Amino acid sequence: MRFFLPLIALTAASPLAAEAFERPVPQAQTATAEFWFALGSIGLIAALVLVQRLVARS
């Protein structure tokens, strides 16, 4: 019993039981995703401009 668990662990972790790695296929960028990215970018730029104006007043 002392050698049974390590034997099972080594057998289960053998390279023969492992699956081959399949490289993920990148998905195309959708128009909706591009719209939300553009909206987020514009919002970030607007927030940075507002912060810059707030800091410049001090």
DSSP type of residue 17: G
Counted residue by residue, the chain has a size of 58
* Higher per-residue confidence, 24 vs 9: 24
**Residue 8 within a domain:** no
**Residue 1 within a domain:** no
Q: How far apart are CA 27 and CA 25, in angstroms?
A: 6
**Residue 41 within a domain:** yes
DSSP type of residue 13: T
Q: How far apart are CA 58 and CA 42, in angstroms?
A: 25
Distance separating the N- and C-terminal Cα atoms of the chain? 75
- Total number of domains in the chain: 1
pLDDT confidence of 35, banded at 50, 70, 90? very high
Query: Domain range for residue 36?
Result: 29-57
What pLDDT, on a 0 to 100 scale, did the predictor assign at position 15?
Answer: 67
**Residue 35 within a domain:** yes
**Residue 18 within a domain:** no
User: Which residue, 41, 37, 34, is CA-closest to 49?
Assistant: 41
**Residue 16 within a domain:** no
**Residue 40 within a domain:** yes
